[in-house]
């Protein structure tokens, strides 16, 4: 390969990489996921959820209300969503979705991460357990 041809080849290869990365970033590239946060408290729950790319805003959830959203896992499993919760004097904040939590959500065409906010803490549904069930994942502080 002569110098000009190899230089053109590498320039085209580099442009192709950036084009593919842009398409994947805009349209999503990984498995689809849904996160559900259900208020199991006897009173209203205040929550704020966000990722590095999206601020989902603040919500006030009534008893049994489900706040949910859909997304696709980013390239190299970089997607993470965080939430902060307030219930009277109690509060809590943590990742409600990241690559570690995704392991509890199943790996199929419809991956669901289900959270319940209860008086004694925050519960995540483990779909991978022999007997799938909620387990306490975080406490109030």
Count of CB atoms situated within 10 Å of the CB of 63? 12
* pLDDT of res. 27: 46
* Residues β-bridged to residue 121: 118
Same structural domain, 21 and 72: no
Structural domain boundaries, residue 11: 1-27
Indicate if 64 and 15 belong to the same structural domain: no
Q: What is the pLDDT of residue 75?
A: 81
* Lookup: tokens for 114: 């289900």
Same domain, 125 and 90: yes
Element (H, E) at 116: strand 111-118
What CATH number should be reported for the domain holding residue 42?
2.60.40.10
One domain for residues 22 and 36: no
Which one-letter DSSP state was computed for residue 76? G
The verdict on 4 and 70 lying in the same domain is no
Rounded to whole angstroms, the Cα distance separating 28 from 75 reads 8
pTM of the prediction?
0.78
Measured from the Cβ of residue 36, the count of other Cβ atoms closer than 10 Å reads 15
Give the C-alpha distances (Å, rounded to integers) separating 109 from 27, 106, 120, 124, 131: 17, 9, 32, 20, 21
pLDDT score of 15: 54
Averages of pLDDT over runs of 10 residues in the chain (141 residues) are: 64 54 53 96 99 97 98 87 99 97 82 97 94 97 95
Whether 51 and 99 share a structural domain: yes
């Amino acid at each position: 390969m002569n110098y000009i041809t190899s230089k053109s080849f590498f320039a085209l290869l580099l442009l192709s990489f950036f084009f593919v990365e842009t398409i994947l970033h805009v349209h999503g590239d990984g498995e689809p996921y849904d996160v559900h946060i259900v208020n199991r408290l006897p009173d209203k729950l205040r929550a704020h959820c966000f990722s590095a790319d999206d601020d989902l805003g603040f919500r006030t959830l009534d008893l049994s209300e489900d706040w949910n959203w859909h997304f696709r896992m980013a390239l190299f499993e970089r997607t993470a969503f965080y939430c902060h919760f307030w219930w009277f004097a109690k509060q809590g904040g943590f990742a409600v979705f990241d690559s570690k939590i995704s392991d509890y959500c199943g790996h199929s065409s419809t991956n669901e991460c289900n959270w319940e906010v209860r008086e004694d803490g925050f519960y995540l549904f483990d779909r991978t357990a022999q007997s799938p069930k909620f387990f306490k994942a975080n406490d109030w502080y």
